[in-house]
Amino acid sequence: MAQLWGGRFTKEENDLVKKFNDSLPFDKRLWREDITGSIAHAHMLGAQGILTEDEAEHIVTGLKSIYQDLETGGLTFDGSSAEDIHSFVEAELTARIGDDGKRLHTGRSRNDQVALDVRLFVRTCADDMRERVLSLLDVVVRIMKDNLDTFMPGFTHLQKAQPVTLAHHMGAYAEMFRRDVKRIEDCRKRLNECPLGAGALAGTTYPLNRDMTAKELGFDRPTGNSMDSVSDRDYAIEFLNDLSILQMHLSRLAEEIIIWNSNEYRFVEIDDAYSTGSSIMPQKKNPDVAELIRGKTGRVYGDLMSLMTVMKGIPLAYDKDMQEDKEPIFDAYDTVRMCVDLMAGMLNTMTFRKDVMEASAKRGFTNATDAADYLVTKGVPFRDAHSIIGRMVLYCIEKGKALDDLTLQEFHQFSDKFGEDVHDAISMKTCVERRLTKGAPGRAAMEEEIRDLSDWLKAEQQQNEND
């Protein structure tokens, strides 16, 4: 296959240089975007009189046939000597329709062509990722609704701190994932400008209608500066940054699932479908899915840093370095997409051991602060109350008891301010229910948060249907 740029050269390309230079092995993934962009370009060329209507229609018909054959497997990339997806499509088009296929590239450079393909691809990825995270949020909110009264320890420094509920704990991740959705939506708004028509870097002398192609391809407007149009990958960096933050949130949740799944905690039972065993130890049930989600976070960060490093020293406008933009985008998207789906499936099938969680909260003295507050309500200065409860915790550790297990007589060994109501005052239920400030774990506050999340999710899903 002749190179698109071969006219100026008198020697064949070195085989190693060709292998080093060619991008079809990975950018063939952009065939849908490349053909869709070319169809819009052909429509515009015909409408502007740059090509005749018959020529434009001939080209569009040929492009649609290529699209159909690639979709069904009637056409493959196997054995192709094309340099990239652009030359593959153009050569195939010319083979099918003759010289009219050579007219498609009128008023267009591969620079604005690839800039368009990558934008279209990232836009599709953003829409898809948004929907996947919304599906994950559905699972998280369902868990919240089912566990308003599932008491568990809240932690600081990985030490048991105060009692919360599983609904409250999962609500923190719901807020993280909600922010992820909003970031992806913001990124999509910024990237939705069409670079087609920018040419190599300085536009073109042909009377292109850039507004027409932008509209046909679903963009809000054409890009503003032709040099920036072909050299901008900010939107891709922003998308990979959004994916990195999302993956970080998945990793944090995966880490907690790994801890909760351990024999020392036993807060959860991971479904067999999302666990693996040991080749030598028959008793093992390993949280490999959660561990891989955690491990792949470094890979996604690497994709982001790879693209940022590629772009950091590139002078205007287009440089071949930018061929390295695609593989990090593909890899990060594929990795995070799989991790989001796996996390949703793992959570949806996971068993939460409510009795173990509540017992852990009691054994961890998570109600110690509430016991001190109880004494304060009886007139004891907080610092004195703090000291009294500290001594009681030491006593309980020595006796192997929780504060809830102490008799009233044992309470009186430390202060005569304790009354018959102390056990009710420091129960897990009371400790949680008394925390009613917005965002706290109390039932009324949690029900408000769940309503807010549910309403927001419903609005987002309605937007999907409208779009």
Same domain, 229 and 321: yes
The last residue of one of the domains, among 72, 88, 103, is 103
Query: What is the rounded radius of gyration, in angstroms, for the C-alpha atoms of the chain?
Result: 30
Same domain, 226 and 114: yes
Same domain, 208 and 332: yes
Any domain includes 27: yes
Same domain, 284 and 355: yes
Any domain includes 443: no
The whole-angstrom separation of Cα 382 and Cα 385 is: 5
Count of domains for the chain = 3
Q: Answer for the pair 40, 216: CB distance below 8 angstroms, yes or no.
A: yes
Which SS3 state, helix, strand or coil, does residue 151 take?
strand
Residues 6+ apart with CB under 8 A from 212: 43, 44, 47
The two structure tokens encoding residue 49: 């009189």
Same domain, 406 and 283: no
What pLDDT, on a 0 to 100 scale, did the predictor assign at position 3?
57
Which entry of 43, 109, 135, 157 is annotated as an active-site residue? 157
What pLDDT, on a 0 to 100 scale, did the predictor assign at position 371?
95
Pairing mode, if any, of strands 268-269 and 351-352?
A: antiparallel
Amino acid letter, 398 = E
The whole-angstrom separation of Cα 51 and Cα 264 is: 73
Same domain, 30 and 84: yes
CATH of residue 74's domain is 1.10.275.10
- Is residue 157 annotated as part of the catalytic site, yes or no? yes
Could you list the residue range(s) of the whole structural domain that residue 29 is in? 6-103
Which entry of 58, 231, 251, 278 is annotated as an active-site residue? 278
The two structure tokens encoding residue 449: 């948060």
Same domain, 39 and 171: no
pTM above 0.85, yes or no: yes
The whole-angstrom separation of Cα 63 and Cα 104 is: 10
Backbone angles phi, psi at 352, to 5 degrees: -100, 125
Q: In terms of Cα–Cα distance, which of 246, 268, 271 is closest to 258? A: 268
CATH of residue 310's domain is 1.20.200.10
The whole-angstrom separation of Cα 213 and Cα 197 is: 9
Q: Answer for the pair 195, 268: CB distance below 8 angstroms, yes or no.
A: no
Q: Could you identify the residue written with the tokens 């002749």?
A: 2
**Which 8-state DSSP code applies to residue 417?**
T
Any domain includes 287: yes
Q: In terms of Cα–Cα distance, which of 428, 404, 368 is closest to 152? A: 428
Any domain includes 466: no
CATH of residue 392's domain is 1.10.40.30
Same domain, 333 and 373: no
Print pLDDT tens along the chain (467 aa): 445 545 555 567 777 887 887 899 999 999 999 999 999 999 999 999 999 999 999 999 999 999 999 999 999 999 888 999 999 999 999 999 999 999 999 999 999 999 999 999 999 999 999 999 999 999 999 999 999 999 999 999 999 999 999 999 999 999 999 999 999 999 999 999 999 999 999 999 999 999 999 999 999 999 999 999 999 999 999 999 999 999 999 999 999 999 999 999 999 999 999 988 877 887 778 999 999 999 999 999 999 999 999 999 999 999 999 999 999 999 999 999 999 999 999 999 999 999 999 999 998 899 999 999 999 999 999 999 999 999 999 999 999 999 999 999 999 999 999 999 999 999 999 999 999 899 999 999 999 999 999 999 999 988 877 77
Any domain includes 407: yes
Amino acid letter, 359 = A
The whole-angstrom separation of Cα 389 and Cα 398 is: 14
State the burial class of residue 355 (Cβ atoms within 10 Å of its Cβ: 0-12, 13-18, 19+): exposed
Any domain includes 418: yes
Same domain, 260 and 311: yes
Any domain includes 458: no
Same domain, 253 and 334: yes
Any domain includes 453: no
Q: Is the peptide bond before 236 cis (omega within 30 degrees of 0)?
A: no
Strands annotated E in 244-303? 268-269
Same domain, 182 and 276: yes
The whole-angstrom separation of Cα 138 and Cα 144 is: 10
Same domain, 33 and 118: no
The whole-angstrom separation of Cα 190 and Cα 204 is: 25
